[in-house]
Structure 1
Amino acid sequence: MAYPCLVSFSGGISLNFVRRVFLIFCLILLSTTQSLQAAPTQILEQAAPFFTGFQGTFVLYDENQDRYSVYNEQRSEKRLTPCSTFKIYNSLIALETGVAPDENMTLQWDGQQRFLPVWNQNHTMSSAIKSSVVWYYQELASRIGTERMQKFIDAIPYGNRDISGGITQFWLRSSLQISAKEQVELLRRLYNDELPFSARNTAIIRRIIVQSDENGVVFSGKTGSGSVEGVYSVGWFVGVIEKGNQRYYFATNLEAVDGATGIKARAISLDILKSLDII
């Protein structure tokens, strides 16, 4: 009986050829094993009514169960401008480079009147991230500089890693883009100290993005809104929920002709999380 898959070296086939075939087989086996081990995904079709009037997606990762729950899975991999959600990583890079010694570093308001009254005053990093003060983070980015910023964007790595839009603009409806799934994965790595930043600095960031801490539930997050001349076409909310020994990471993004804001993305996130009995 012939066994065509067994190769005789005397038949002229070299040892190097056999090694290459074996290596390819091992790579295929490894790829298959990794696919089988990938976190399962639950499709949240019931979330559709929350997105009425918007193109959007919601991604939730349950760390304890190693499971994703996703509304609009195809869109969850679409990259968009991060808007002010990038302030999380702008802050980290400022801390890691020493541009900001800690979250209490105060920058003086330049006296220019901006459309949100809360922006028209001095700010610390802690207050600036809570009020999403654009000028504060533009100043941080300028002090970090293009070379150091690119180094950390590559090291993270963050989305498409493109900061060609300019050091004070690249995250604001410009060159840098990231998907909802990528946002969730970065948050998971942030909270597990897997990013290229010191434990001290990641702890500072986790502390300053807390929005509420009540009844044993810590709710953290950051909004992002993309607008041109007052028309809001992109909205983000990314965050983390900690309940005892349970941890959930999530991201919501929206697009519309107008009305797609970070505040709306946050409201939709809360509605979905409540419907899933997570909060």
Structure 2
Amino acid sequence: MKRLSILFLLFCLVLNAQENKDLLEGHLGTLVIYDVNKNEYITINPERAALRFTPASTFKIPNSLIGLETGVIRDENFIINWDGIKRWNDDWNKDHTLSSAIKFSVVPYYQELARRVGRDRMQKYLNSLNYGNKVIGDNVDSFWLDNSLQISADEQVEFMKKFFEYKLPFSKRTIDIVKNIMSEEKYSKSVLKYKTGTGKKTTGEFIGWLVGYIRKENNVYLFAFNVDSETFDEVVKIRAELSRKILKQLKIIE
């Protein structure tokens, strides 16, 4: 009888894992969620969740924290002037504050921020945060974009847990500023705070990230989602639509 019970439990676990993976609708991706009240994880495609990839612009969260804590940036209104170089995204071709730079995911702003922080201080923080593989590589102003720095969805969620719970080596003021400037979506019962990221993997595919946390009634969910696609435009669309769809199906966003 005991053996039958164990076999039935294993069958249910396998079935549940397959049902969860079906939520990805055939896309190569993963979603990791940490339920604070239950102290439990929901992981869709755990094998993928353990794999490291470029964080792309999700690194703007730690980059902002580091910039503020070192004093390179005073507050969310700190301006870094446009360097005059025209880039493919018109939103980048102007002066920006920290607040507007994270909103429009302004790569040149954060590259200048990283240069001002410098390699030594940046490496110190990557080590203390235990952020992914902690590798800067050749360029302090592009390591989060060029596949030098890599992090898994599992690790992103652990970072977000510490971020949300003020357990990172930053002041409360610094963390509160970054929480406040993250993108926000309000639903009837939930509030989603997040940062996106889009990058090109070493294998040529594009990866799209969505990382953040969700407040729902008296609970909080920390999460990290990533998905692959063949083109930049495709991965941006799939990331936006599929991530919200799954979170709604799991009734975390309502």
Q: How many residues align?
A: 237
- Measured in 1, the distance between the counterparts of 2:98 and 2:79 equals 7
Structure-2 residue corresponding to 1:187: 160
1:266 to 240, 250, 253: 240
What residue number does 1:156 align with? 129
Find out whether 1:249 has 2:214 as its counterpart.
no
Question: Among residues 137, 142, 164, which one is paired with 1:169 in the alignment?
Answer: 142
Q: Is the 8 A contact 1:61 1:248 kept in 2?
A: yes
TM-score normalised according to structure 2 size: 0.87
Distance 1:87 1:263, change over 3 A: farther
Unaligned runs of 5+ in 1: 1-39
Matches within 5 A, 1:26-105: 44-52=17-25, 54-105=27-78
Larger deviation, residues 177-186 vs 103-112: 103-112
Q: How far off is 1:258 after superposition?
A: 2.6
AA aligned opposite 1:272: I
Contact 2:54 2:146 in 1 (8 A): yes
5+ residue gaps, structure 2, are 1-12
Matching residue's letter, 2:139? G
TM-score (norm 1): 0.79
CA distance in 1, matches of 2:227, 2:188: 30
Shift of 1:265: 1.9
| Equivalent runs, 1:111-126 vs 2, <5 Å | 111-126=84-99
Q: Provide the residue aligned with 2:210 in structure 1.
A: 237
Q: CA deviation at 1:47?
A: 4.2
Query: Is the Cα contact below 8 Å between 1:129 and 1:209 reproduced in 2?
Result: yes
* CA drift at 1:240: 0.5
Structure 1 residues 150 and 265: CA distance shift in structure 2, 3 A: same
8 Å Cα contact 1:43/1:73 also seen in 2? no
Larger Rg: 1
In structure 2, which of residues 196, 199, 204 is the aligned counterpart of residue 226 of structure 1? 199
Counterpart Cα distance in 2 of 1:264 and 1:134: 22
After superposition, the CA RMSD in angstroms is 2.1
Q: Which residue identity does 1:71 align to in structure 2? A: I
Percent identity of equivalent pairs: 44
Q: How far apart, in 2, do the equivalents of 1:263 and 1:193 lie?
A: 32
Residue in 2 aligned with 1:10?
none
Say whether residues 1:278 and 2:249 are aligned partners.
no
Q: What CA distance in whole angstroms lies between the structure 2 residues aligned with 1:234 and 1:165?
A: 22
How far apart in 2 are the matches of 1:85 and 1:142? 18
> One-letter code of the match for 1:91?
S
